[in-house]
Structure 1
Amino acid sequence: MNQDNNNNQSQVQDQVESSLPQTQDLPPVVNPLNNINEPLVSAGVSGETSSLYVNSSQPNPFVPPQNLESQGQPVANPFVVSTPDNSTSQNETLNVSEMKPESQPISAQSNPVLPPKPAKKFPLRLILILLLVVAVVVGLIFAAGKFLGKKTVETKTITWWNLWEDDSIIKPLIQEYEAKNPNVKINYVKQSPQDYRERLASALAKGEGPDIFAFHNTWVPLLARDLDSVPPQVMSSADMAQNYYYVISADLTSQGRILGIPLGYDALTLFVNEDLFKEAGLNPPTTWVELRDDAKLLTKVVDGKIVQSGVALGRTENVDHWQEILALMMIQNGINFTNPDPSLLENSLLFFNIFSKSDKVWDETLPSSTEAFAAGKLAMYFGPSWRAFNIKEINPNLNFRTVPLPQIPKENPDEPDISYATYWSQGVWIKSKNKDLAWDFLKFISSRDSLEKMFKQASLVRGFGEIYPRSDMANLLLDHPILGSVVKLAPNAKSWYLASRAFDGPTGINSQLSKYFEDAINALNDNQDLKRTVETLVQGIKQVLTQYGLAK
């Protein structure tokens, strides 16, 4: 039996050895980490080889690794050798190391190579959610940055106090400016002329004054501390001298500072009733001598009562604008108001008074000169051009026009004809918080284009607009039946602090000077002593001028 067992063991050993590959045919075992591009060789019982390439790139997580078993090729562990099918019953497993010849040892043992684990899939829904969140956050950051980076522009309001012009005339220009400057609003306030200066002075004193306000050309001494200087970029002294009438430049300049920009101009002129002159066969006068002669011829007296007057002169109670008329006579007569010559004052006062006292072409029983002329009972009437509106309103059918003012006889015919200016300007409050904007608006509205638009708009409402204050626009109105006479004499116009309807209040310079001149004229009408009357007048003039720092 022992011999049989020995024979059986020899047969089993022979079968196992025959099933193993020859030693010289075994390929070397290669570490798959040493060269990932070389094929791995697995040895099976059948002696066949299968190759598995390990790529350096990351496997696609959405493609599962190839299942070699599904292809009928079992993956054999290169370090495990299976016994043939006929020896499995004996449950014997041989270690490769025991079966290899000792003369060819196996190289360093390598780690087993396993298929790569499939990468975990990233849910598509989560990706979309993350992208949406990122987009929302970026959008919010962009919007917030845009919102925070955008400065809120504050709307600034410019308050403008003006006289005479209605909203319908000014509003189109205001709308045009606001359209070009959407962050600026112009608050236009038309003021009543009554007590206007006191109201303005009170507002300025309280620190509540308007940004822009109207003032009479004679108010500069009263408001010099409250008026801001016109910036050079708005108007320089050279611009004023070149483009505006000389009287405007002289009136609105104080100690080298330009203190205002007028939107209109006016002056005294002579209105004539064309029907009465035609009926009498007369032409309008050009000198004071001619005017005096014509006035006598045009005056009609019935039962000792004047029923038609040649001219309204000589009184103060019913001669509108007597201040401007007397000032014109004195200026033409060469009076220096800062140091008036008493004899020249006497001559001017006597000439003014002679029309009522000696010639008796006008007296205190007649209505105001404006009403008398509008009624067709006065041949010649002195007043600024704007009085034409009052006259037309009273009597739309009256046939009248204006002519240049009469002049005194000239020794030199080249001497210029003189007129007397009275007008309103626009200024900016020196304490305004929006001075730059206020001046920018005044620059816009005082431009040639704006003045023409304003004139056209006013013409639609009341017949004609204000005379252009710019000398470079004079030719546009020279032939106007009412305004032409004023424009012709504007280059040589003069002015002083004696004006009616200046509305500067009882303490204003016009009001105080008017009172002294009024007393002098009334004294002459009452046959009081001429020299004493003139002495009192001279003292009063110096006192008022000294009060405003104008005496020399």
Structure 2
Amino acid sequence: MESNQATTPIQSEIPTESKKSFPKKLTLIILGGVLLFVTGFFVIKSLLSRNSTITTANEIVWWGLWEDETVLKTVITDYELKNPGIKIKYVKQSKEDYRERLTNALAKGTGPDIFRIHNTWVPMFKSELDKVPASIYSASEFSTTFYPVATSDLTAGANLVGIPLEYDGLSLYINEEIFEKAGKNVPNTWNELRQTARELTIKDENGTITQAGVAIGRTENVDHWPEILGLMMLQNGVDLTKPTSKLAEDALDFYTIFSQSDGVWDATLPSSTVAFAGGKLAMYFGPSWRSFEIRLQNPNLKFRTVSVPQLPKTEANEPDVTYASYWAEGVWARSKNKTEAWKFLRFLSESDNLQKLYNDTSKTRMFGEPYPRQYMESLLKDHPIIGSTISGAKTAQTWFLQSKTWDGPTGINSQINKYFEDAINLVNSGKESKIALEPVAQGVIQVLSQYGIKVQ
């Protein structure tokens, strides 16, 4: 500032004592030392921050998706108290572009120690997933502890590569008021569902649907059409890696008949979730977590879920087939903390801690994550929303036909979905299912080969 500027003194004729100058050599030494210190500081800082995900040697970084840190605080604190010197850093990730961000972080060497993956993502991450140590879960203990579908989904080669902390799958949502008013029973088979849907569909004088029976038949406004179609095909015995059989054609035709012929759902309607929440849809397919959205949109809606319909049984002891869609935790193969990371996941997956997580989560929403352990089924089997999900978990199957996994345009779910979406749209436009499925078979082989899956 101007007030701090020194004026040039007028030289006096009276000689003054000259000031001693600072030795130039010493000045250079000090400046060099300062420069060396500053340079060293930034070099060390750069090295320490190269892996920004891990801040200390004993800190385990965990990338999650759905739960807030406050919900996990109790179990994390419990573990840290029992394991002095270990710190757990939970980082809640946005679901948007999650798969791509995780892939990029791992490729750059800055990935988390623990990360969440969808049950169908193992082929995409198998090179980055550490195998579950036998000291954490042996193969036999894992298979008797968790549902069979988890053993199948979370295996790469001969190794287990993940631990589930929850389970979810497709259920049939019922608008109880619509059913009570019409005096209808809940359908148990697909034929019963089809008949009930026709009887519960209401149209005005112009033929516009004012109350839809069930949301099936389309792709643009049926939120979980991939899982519904996948369920139908698996129940019908289709090998989804070769979807060109008569069984696949029949399943595709049956899916589209609800819109094409029965007229219980059409393209003019809003998304199936919105329609059900608005009380304008009698039956809706979705996982348990959709109930949070439905309750938020319509707190007064009276609804529950039931098991998904089945095909008629050829034998009395023939098991039901349900459809799984859940998330699990994996450990990064290159993590320096993977031994402790696995110990933490074993701790989290114990029944007592799963119950703590469920109870703490239930304080912030309708219910917590459904338990992944088989013998905990009895604790939730009577729940009005997740009871049906848990009841069908032991006989669940699954495949890459999955919606809302946010795996990005190059992800295995998105690519597989697109081929089957095109097939549904072709049938709805009048093409034969056999013709519609031909490019699907070729596309499936191409997509699976990208992730090292060979079709026999």
- Mapping of 1:469-548 within 5 angstroms? 469-548=372-451
Of residues 284, 306, 312, the one that matches 2:186 is: 284
User: Counterpart of 1:387?
Assistant: 290
Query: d(CA) in 1 for partners of 2:87 and 2:449?
Result: 42
- C-alpha distance in structure 1 between counterparts of 2:232 and 2:187, whole Å: 15
Instruction: Establish whether residue 164 from structure 1 lines up as the match of residue 66 from structure 2.
Output: yes
Q: Structure 1: state its 5+ residue gaps.
A: 1-153
Cα distance in 2, alignment partners of residues 226 and 548 from structure 1: 13
- 1:1-40 matched pairs, under 5 angstroms: none
Q: 2:328 aligns with which of 421, 425, 441?
A: 425
Question: Letter of the aligned partner of 1:507 in structure 2?
Answer: T
The aligned counterpart of 1:443 is 346
1:320 equivalenced with 2:227 (yes/no)? no
SS across alignment from 2:171 = strand
**Equivalent residues of 1:270, 1:383 under 8 A apart:** yes
Q: How far off its partner does 1:175 sit? A: 1.1
**Residues 380 and 205 (structure 1), Cα distance of their counterparts in 2 relative to 1, 3 Å cut:** same
Task: State the shift of 1:502 in Å.
Answer: 1.3
Match of 1:434 in 2: 337
| Residue 340 of structure 1: how far off its partner (Å) | 3.3
Which fold has the larger relative contact order, with Cα–Cα distance below 8 Å and residues 6 or more apart in sequence? 2
Tell whether the 8 Å contact from 1:342 to 1:534 is kept in structure 2 after alignment. no
Instruction: Note if contact 1:159-1:210 (Cα within 8 Å) is conserved in structure 2.
Output: yes
User: Is the Cα contact below 8 Å between 1:155 and 1:183 reproduced in 2?
Assistant: no
Percent identity of equivalent pairs = 56
> What displacement does 1:529 show?
4.0
CA distance in 2, matches of 1:338, 1:359: 30
CA distance in 2, matches of 1:536, 1:444: 46
Q: Distance in 2 between matches of 1:459 and 1:337?
A: 37
Q: Which residue of 2 aligns with 1:413?
A: 316
CA distance in 2, matches of 1:339, 1:369: 29
3-state SS, counterpart of residue 406 of structure 1: coil
Partner of 2:233: 330
User: Which of 271, 283, 296 is 1:368 aligned to?
Assistant: 271
Q: Which of 164, 179, 199 is residue 262 of structure 1 equivalent to?
A: 164
Report the Cα distance in structure 1 between the residues aligned to 2:138 and 2:98, rounded to whole angstroms: 29
Q: Residue 461 of structure 1 aligns to a residue in which SS? A: coil
1:348-370: CA deviations, max 9, x gaps? 11100000110011011111100
* Distance across 1 between alignment mates of 2:140 and 2:422: 42
Give deviations 1:173-209, integer Å, cap 9, x for gaps.
Answer: 1111111222111110000111101000000000000
Moved more, 534-543 or 209-218: 534-543
Residues 1:297 and 2:227 aligned together? no
TM-score normalised per structure 1:
0.71
Deviation at residue 546 of structure 1 after TM alignment? 2.2
- Displacement of 1:341 after TM fit? 4.2
Q: Does the 8 A contact of 2:243 with 2:437 survive in 1?
A: no
Rg larger for: 1
Residue of structure 2 in register with 1:459 after alignment: 362
Q: CA deviation at 1:338?
A: 2.7
Give the whole-Å Cα distance in 2 for the aligned partners of 1:516 and 1:396.
Answer: 37
SS at match of 2:300: coil
Q: Cα deviations across residues 49-74 of structure 1 (Å, max 9, x unaligned)?
A: xxxxxxxxxxxxxxxxxxxxxxxxxx
Query: Is the CA contact (8 Å cut-off) linking 1:155 and 1:185 kept in structure 2?
Result: no
Find the aligned partners of 2:118 and 2:266 in 1 and give their Cα distance. 31
Which residue identity does 2:192 align to in structure 1? Answer: E
Distance in 2 separating the partners of 1:208 and 1:510: 25
1:233 paired with 2:132, answer no
Matches within 5 A, 1:187-266: 187-266=89-168
Q: For the aligned residues, what is the CA RMSD?
A: 1.0
Q: Deviations over 1:247-284 (max 9, x none)?
A: 00110012110100011000000000011001111011
What SS is found at the alignment partner of 2:364?
helix
Report the 3-state secondary structure (helix = DSSP H, G, I; strand = E; otherwise coil) of the residue aligned with 2:87.
strand
Aligned partner (choices 232, 244, 258) of residue 355 of structure 1: 258
Check whether the contact 2:244–2:437 (CA below 8 A) recurs between aligned residues: no
TM-score under structure 2 length normalisation: 0.86
> What are the superposed Cα offsets for residues 513-542 of structure 1, whole Å, 9 maximum, x if unpaired?
100000001111111343321211111122
Please give the alpha-carbon distance, in whole angstroms, between the structure 1 residues aligned to 2:292 and 2:75: 23
Instruction: Tell me the CA shift for residue 342 of structure 1.
Output: 2.4
